[in-house]
Amino acid sequence: MLDALARASNITFGSARYGDVAELRHKGKTFILLKPSTYMNLSGKAVSYWMQKEKIALENLLVVVDDLALPLGVIRIRSRGSDGGHNGLKSTNETLGTQDYARLRFGIGNGYPRGHQVDYVLGEWSDEELKILPERLAKAGEAILCFGTIGIERTMNLFNNQ
């Protein structure tokens, strides 16, 4: 999602501490995009570091994750919540000491045989999936920018039923 947003915004990621980082300016706001390079179950360390470095308030944090429980391309935005079994959210919750931050879940479906979840998550998209991904990734990018400009409540109202 962040790669698609960066391409659409004509910005590039650079290697930095705990991940790849890009800065995006949109409607007078500055967005720090972070792709942690830590293992998923340690991604909270990267989030915490960059929040402190950039002085990002908790209410301005949006964590973006993939979600096996949602059909491909479905977007769910919440203002807070549990990790739902996602190791990245679990690490972030533990590191920040709270679940009170916004998150955007992007559905990747669950079309994998039992016991092959890792292969599915790290595998290649099918031709059929590749046909719908660009539009859905663009929509996720819009949601990210809306979060930063109009806030969580309005963003949830606009994107959760699409």
Q: How far is CA 86 from CA 47, 65, 158, in A?
A: 15, 8, 24
How is residue 12 annotated by DSSP? Answer: -
In the chain, which residue ranges form alpha helices assigned H by DSSP? 2-9, 43-53, 87-96, 117-122, 127-150, 152-159
Q: For residues 109 and 121, what is the distance between their CA atoms, to the nearest angstrom?
A: 9
Nearest alpha carbon to residue 25 among 15, 10, 14, 35: 10
CATH number for position 137: 3.40.50.1470
How many domains does the chain divide into? Answer: 1
pLDDT for 161 beyond 80: no
* Domain extent for 76: 2-159
Q: In which band, very low, low, confident or very high, does the pLDDT at 112 lie, cut at 50, 70 and 90?
A: confident
pTM value? Answer: 0.92
10-19, 36-45, 49-58, 111-120: which has the minimum mean pLDDT? Answer: 111-120
Q: In which band, very low, low, confident or very high, does the pLDDT at 121 lie, cut at 50, 70 and 90?
A: confident
Mean pLDDT (the chain) is 93
